[in-house]
Amino acid sequence: MVVLGKLQRPWYWLLQFASRLLVTVLFGYRCQGQRNLPRSGGALLVSSHQSYLDPILLGLPTLRLLNYLARDSLFRFPPLRWLIQSLNAIPIDREGVGMAGLKETLRRLRRGEIVVIFPEGTRTADGQLQPLKPGFASLARRGGVPLIPAAIVGAYECWPRTMRVPHAGRIRVCYGCPITPNDIAGYDERGLVDEVSRRITDCHRRALAMRKCVSRSGRDDSAPRGDAR
């Protein structure tokens, strides 16, 4: 649901700019593989889930307005509901997308938008990747869009589930190569889930390597030199 009309894009970009400054200062944010985010057309961005920061982190490298699936309980507090609706959030029930959320997600995919989904279902409890729920596979098939794997590293350490507020640290994000609709058609559901899990794991490994890449002088050498392939 768009709540700002013509002001939607300026508002989104203003918050994006402010967020980029904040996470760069507090978390030394760096990303890799951002060219794998399509410049046009629908896509389903499937990412690991480490903290409340994740939707912000995933949207920083692109000027495209991303859509996010968010659990319905977040919409119960009016100020928060207004904020996340202004950032294109789609409410989902705790057991899955639900019919209303499914229809709205497909509507946005088919009109050429990017939707972010966290297929683990919830934030990690230990910083490790959790098994993926298969619901995203049906969304990608029915929407006829590519799947873009991504992983976030460091956000768990900066803001684990046990803490009310985040603290400073180093966060890295890696985007992998898309799985095209033609490739998706060649997998059954289990095979597609396994392939996406493998690619998210590879992105996690790359992001972890970026986070560890700090020279002896203390200079951060993790800035990307190319796409994740």
Q: Give pLDDT tens digits for 89-118.
A: 998 876 554 688 889 999 999 999 999 999
Beta strands 114-117 and 43-47: pairing type?
parallel
The domain ranges of the chain are 5-212
HSE toward the beta carbon, residue 183, CA cutoff 13 A: 12
Write down the pLDDT at residue 221: 45
Q: Give pLDDT tens digits for 55-91.
A: 999 999 999 999 998 888 888 888 888 889 888 999 8
- How far apart, in whole angstroms, are the C-alpha atoms of residue 98 and residue 137? 15
Superfamily for the 5-212 domain:
Glycerol-3-phosphate (1)-acyltransferase (3.40.1130.10)
What is the strand order of the sheet 30-32 is part of?
A: 30-32, 172-175, 147-153, 43-47, 114-117, 66-71, 89-92
Write down the pLDDT at residue 74: 83
Write down the pLDDT at residue 17: 96
